[in-house]
Structure 1
Amino acid sequence: MNTILLIVIIYLAAMILIGFFYRKKASQDGESFLVANRSMGPRLGGGALASTYASTSSFLGTLGAMYAFGVAFGLWQNAGVIIGFTLATVFIAPKFRNYGSLSFSQFFEMRYNKKVRFVSAIVTVVAMFVYIMAQLQGGAYAIQYVLGIDYWVGVLVIGAVFILYVVLGGSHSSIMASFIQFIMMAVAMITVAIVVINAEPWGSTTTQALQNQPLMFELKGENGLLYAISCFVMMTLGAMSAPYVYLMYMFTKSNKVAQTTSALATTYLSIFYFVLLLVGVFIISNFPNLENPDMGYFHTLDLLPTVIAGIFVAAVLAAAMSSTDAMLLNATSAITNDIYSILAGKTLPNHVVVFVNRIVAVVIGVIAILVTLKPPELILLVMALAQSLMIGAFLVPLVLGLWWKKATSKGALAGMIGGFAVAVIAQFIPLPTPFIGGPLGALTSLILVITISNRERKNMDMNLEDNQSLAKSQ
């Protein structure tokens, strides 16, 4: 136990040191703090982007969901992420990068107007806040389960560390920390997969797993086909709607680098999710009576030497922090670069912009810590809530804004507000699946954007014709 604790302390100290190392670079100006001077290369970026998405919702949450709902459920979920990333790589990343915005929400002003940007910024803050809660929860569970430390202590420690290195090094430290964290996560999960495959004959493992969970490999899973497909759709659309994914595109040197970065991240995630399935089968086979499904991963660490187990516990903390830092930057940027500039009618002065960003990041992080002290339900379900909010609000205005010239500001605003409202309302209505709120919001948004945009365009054309007729008559 002391060895594992020491390794965890070393890891946390290393993350803080990264923040100190990049503090001067991050202090130059707002662009340096928020988007790393758009200097990120594809190799570093591919790992950083992959780790940003492969958070505790993937590391612990997916294993917990497979334990609760069947391995096939994990297949649907993972396939959704890969397809979503692929679509974003091909159809969204280069076009979005062309706008050269300083934040995700700023794109909506460049394409539409300030009102759409303002609403986008509000939704970004809310969604990122919920996501940060899920990551803090997962990391705190790791510390609580393995080290026997109280849950609230884990929340405070993890929160304090990721706030510190983000506040110090901004996007520069976020990129480097996320890259290192992805290596830790990938090595940990691949090693655990190799160990569990060799722990006993794999045929015996799968046989026992099927006895414990007869519908484990059924495509419909434990909860039916609608449950599984809705998760697939949500994950696909979520990967295409996530502000923190597009934040990484803004870090890159060029459009081509943005595409390469996303393609590499997709490849890395494909490997990661495959080995995740193997570990999930082993957990179902050997630990049939888990009280908390999200903790299944830690039971496999008993098969490893103490030192290696300690490194892999740190990998779970890496999974939590690799997402929270990007989400904290997104929320901070939405407040300082979007909400403030719209309400005040001006941008922050260059000599205070970094200082203000740092203060806002601390405030957001502290509030998230306080809220997370009361743990929510399964990590995956908390993540599903955040995904739903982003899908409902962002997907349609983003995609149509890039690919449909007739999309108007009024249509985008109505679609963003309507989609977000439906996604929120869906959380309080008994539905056949908790993953359907986001897609329903997106469908609502699609109808609103197309209907209002077409009506507005039609009115504009009619007014133009009337003006032309009047000019001719005169």
Structure 2
Amino acid sequence: MSLITWSWIFLVFYISFMIGIGIFAQRKIKHADDFATARGGYGPFFLALAFAASTASGATFLGSPALSYEWGLAANWGNFLYPFGVYFGILISMRLIATSGNRFGNRSIPEYLGDRYQSEGIRILVSLLSLVLFFYLAGQLVSGVVMFQLMLGLDAGWALIITTAVLLFYVVLGGAHADILTDGAQGAMMLILAVVVIILTAMGFGLEGGFIGLLDNLEAQDERLVAPLNPNTPLYHSWWSIFVIAFAHMPLGLLPHLGNKLWALKSDGDRFQFVKLAALFGVTLGMMGVGGLLARAHFGDALYMDGANPNQSLPMLFIELFPTW
């Protein structure tokens, strides 16, 4: 069977699985608080998988490998450091947010901040600022569109419709429970895939000379691809730029779609365990970006040509290295 046929089979199975989770999650809902937060419903391991998957998002499969493909080794400072910024931010704020939020009965970060500071103005302001997440959501939908276009041969319109419809169905059906259950399941799959990508890159799979051969290949294309900093981009041109990556990501874990998961932890005594596991999973997922280095070694600058772009580096690498099934 062709790649497109296998991809359709997987898609049907995946959609059925997500919808099944949504239906199962609906049965766990007993009141509005269950729908909004799934308060106290999950242990540290599964919730850490869900949190790490939500944090990693579509950038894990497309954006991070694309940066590695384009800027080389220097881009992997970001892949490694951003999880530390996120989870350090969670570590220093989780106790206050989880304890106070549970006491107030809050169901969202804007609601928590409004109660915490006794200010309707703050509540409204943070709610309005949360609308900026539409741009973030657009990025996630685009990642789904790119994958569907490459693997299924769909045009962008149908790919967007399928991605949006499945997401809306299971979230509306099962609320926070559906969100956490699907994110946890996807997090487990993403984690396995991340380990595979890291191992393939460490082996320099498909290249003569293994990992050393990979580095030699990149250096032959452009010596800046193997330098610790890359002066061609402000993202990684100085050590200050590298430090700022971790610092800038510290508030990320408190975005509305992530912060409300803190109230789903079953026991307050599991907080530190949750953060440790989520950080471990987060770093592993972030390091999937090294796959862009392997893609650059295999494809050279081919993904800069018309009809292609660096965001396709990881999907194209899979197509290149693995059988269609």
Unaligned stretches of 5+ in structure 1?
Answer: 308-474
% identity of equivalent residues = 21
> Deviation digits for residues 266-288 of structure 1, max 9, x if unmatched?
011222333532x2221121112
Structure 2 counterparts to residues 323-338 of structure 1, below 5 A: none
Q: Which residue in the other structure is 1:199 paired with? A: 206
Where does residue 194 of structure 2 map in the other structure?
Answer: 189
Q: Aligned with 1:149: secondary structure? A: coil
Q: Quick check: 1:116 aligned with 2:122? A: yes
Matched residue, 2:98: 97
CA distance in 1, matches of 2:181, 2:213: 41
Q: Does residue 284 of the first structure (1) align with residue 296 of the second (2)?
A: yes
Q: How far apart are 1:243 and its partner, in Å?
A: 2.6
User: Following TM superposition, by how much is the alpha carbon of 1:233 offset from its aligned partner in structure 2, in angstroms?
Assistant: 4.6
Which residue does 2:321 correspond to in 1?
Answer: 303
> 1:264 maps to what in 2?
277
1:14 is the counterpart of 2:23: no
Change (3 A) 1:264 1:54: same
RMSD: 2.0
1:44 aligned partner: 46
State yes or no: 1:75 paired with 2:77: yes
Question: Conserved in 1, the CA contact under 8 Å of 2:35 and 2:177?
Answer: yes
Map 1:226-245 to 2 at 5 A.
228-229=241-242, 232-233=245-246, 235-245=248-258
Alignment size in residue pairs: 303
Alpha-carbon spacing, 1:234–1:137, altered in 2? closer, same or farther (3 Å): farther
Contact 2:60 2:285 in 1 (8 A): no
Mapping of 1:345-424 within 5 angstroms?
none
Relative to structure 1, is the Cα distance of residues 265 and 213 closer, same or farther in structure 2, using a 3 angstrom cutoff?
farther
**Does the 8 Å CA contact 1:77/1:231 hold for their aligned counterparts?**
no
Map 1:213-232 → 2, pairs under 5 A: 213-221=222-230, 222-223=232-233, 224-225=237-238, 228-229=241-242, 232=245
How far off is 1:164 after superposition? Answer: 0.2
Distance 1:231 1:84 in 2: 12
Once residues 111 and 69 of structure 2 are traced to their aligned partners in structure 1, the CA distance between those partners, rounded to angstroms, is 41
From 80, 85, 88, the counterpart of 2:87: 85
Residues 103, 87 of structure 1: alpha-carbon distance in 2 compared, 3 angstrom cutoff: closer
Do the aligned partners of residues 163 and 234 (structure 1) sit closer, same or farther apart at CA in structure 2, a change above 3 Å counting? Answer: farther
Separation in structure 2 between the aligned mates of residue 155 and residue 168 of structure 1, nearest angstrom:
20
Counterpart Cα distance in 1 of 2:122 and 2:264: 23
Q: Using structure 1 for the length normalisation, give the TM-score.
A: 0.60
Extract structure 1 runs of 4+ deviating beyond 6 A: none
Please list the CA deviations of residues 62-116 of structure 1 after superposition, one character each: whole Å capped at 9, or x if unmatched.
Answer: 1112222332123134313323312422x11111111122211111122211111
**2 CA distance for matches of 1:180 and 1:149?**
25
Q: Do the aligned partners of 2:79 and 2:283 also contact (CA within 8 Å) in 1?
A: no
Structure 2 residue aligned with 1:156: 161
1:231 deviation in Å? 5.6
Q: Deviations 1:315-348 (Å, cap 9, x if unpaired)?
A: xxxxxxxxxxxxxxxxxxxxxxxxxxxxxxxxxx
- Deviation of residue 192 (structure 1)? 3.3
Cα–Cα, structure 1 residues 38 and 275, in superposed 2: closer, same or farther, change >3 Å? Answer: same
CA shift, 1:237, in A, is 3.0
Specify the structure having the higher radius of gyration (Cα).
1
Query: Which structure exhibits the higher relative contact order, with contacts defined as CA atoms closer than 8 Å and separated by 6 or more residues?
Result: 2
Give me the TM-score of the superposition, normalised by structure 2: 0.87
Closer, same or farther: CA 114–82 of 1 in aligned 2, 3 Å: same
Q: Which amino acid aligns with 2:227?
A: E
